[in-house]
Amino acid sequence: MLSEPPAGKPENFHLVNDPLSRHKLAVLRDERTPTPEFRQAMKELALILVAAATNRMPTREVSINTPLVPTEVESISAPVCLVPVLRAGLGMLDGALALLPKATVGFMGLQRDEETAQPVEYYVNLPKNISEYFVVILDPMLATGGSLSATLDKLKEEGATWMSCIHAVAAGPGVERVCAEHPDVHFYSAALDPELDGNAFIVPGLGDAGDRLYGTL
């Protein structure tokens, strides 16, 4: 699985660019993909992306016994908190939980105002001791970066320090913004699209992820 910064992109942006994630992305981008298949592909892509996002998680040595002998093994050194950005981020939650079943789940409710493209917060529910967790933020779309930057500001305000984010598609302008505003956070995306249209939609993108996940087209 490749998760390197593409040429000319910030060091904290990682393109997850293996054949399987490209295949899942092809299903998501296709306008003919119906909601059940779209939802399934998003879940499967989230599983791949969350594996990439655990790359930098510190581990600690633990002494255990195999059925034969005592030995040292490695274990992720802090609990994980998954934070889907409502509502489209929920489409990545089951995939992420398949790989991290013991994770705590926090919620960030944000919606882009359709006129201004600015994020509006409507629901926040995070664990109180968020500073003790490795936090992975789930949001299929990184467009202008406004929603994600507001999410990261909020999480930092609450005490989070170790954070990574996963996205199905990220747009160049949003990547530049969040990487500059949050150089301490790492971003993993299955695609880096070049631009936004006049409505701040990612082009070529995959449309409105929330609407396609939940059939509200």
Among 45, 88, 160, 206, binds ligand PRP (CB under 6 A): 88
- DSSP sequence for 13-44: EEEE--HHHHHHHHHHH-TT--HHHHHHHHHH
Secondary structure letter of residue 69 according to DSSP: S
Contact between 175 and 113 under an 8 Å Cβ cutoff? The reply is: no
Among 119, 164, 182, 189, binds ligand PRP (CB under 6 A): 119
Q: Give the separation between CA 191 and CA 175, rounded to whole angstroms.
A: 11
CB atoms within 10 A of CB 200: 17
Contact between 93 and 105 under an 8 Å Cβ cutoff? The reply is: yes
Is residue 111 within the footprint of ligand PRP (CB under 6 A)?
A: yes
Among 84, 95, 106, 146, binds ligand PRP (CB under 6 A): 146
Secondary structure letter of residue 160 according to DSSP: -
Concerning whether 112 is annotated as a catalytic residue, the answer is yes
Is residue 137 within the footprint of ligand PRP (CB under 6 A)?
A: no
Of 71, 116, 197, 216, the catalytic one is 116
* CA proximity to 205, closest of 29, 34, 44: 29
What φ, ψ does residue 11 adopt, rounded to 5°?
-60, -25
Is residue 112 within the footprint of ligand PRP (CB under 6 A)?
A: yes
Contact between 160 and 107 under an 8 Å Cβ cutoff? The reply is: no
Is residue 84 within the footprint of ligand PRP (CB under 6 A)?
A: no
Specify the residue, 27 or 78, whose C-beta has the smaller distance to ligand PRP.
27
Among 145, 173, 190, 193, binds ligand PRP (CB under 6 A): 145
Concerning whether 18 is annotated as a catalytic residue, the answer is no
Minimum Å gap between C-beta 64 and ligand PRP is: 41
Applying CB under 6 A, the span of 1-9, 14-22, 53-61, 141-149 interacting with ligand PRP comes to: 141-149
Is residue 138 within the footprint of ligand PRP (CB under 6 A)?
A: no
Is residue 173 within the footprint of ligand PRP (CB under 6 A)?
A: no
Specify the residue, 14 or 167, whose C-beta has the smaller distance to ligand PRP.
167
In sequence order, the 6+-apart residues with CB closer than 8 A to the CB of 12 are 5, 179, 182, 183, 184, 185, 186, 187
Among 142, 155, 165, 169, binds ligand PRP (CB under 6 A): 142
Q: Active-site residue numbers?
A: 112, 116, 208, 211
Interface residues with ligand PRP (CB under 6 A) are 85-88, 111-112, 117, 119, 139-148, 174, 200, 208-210
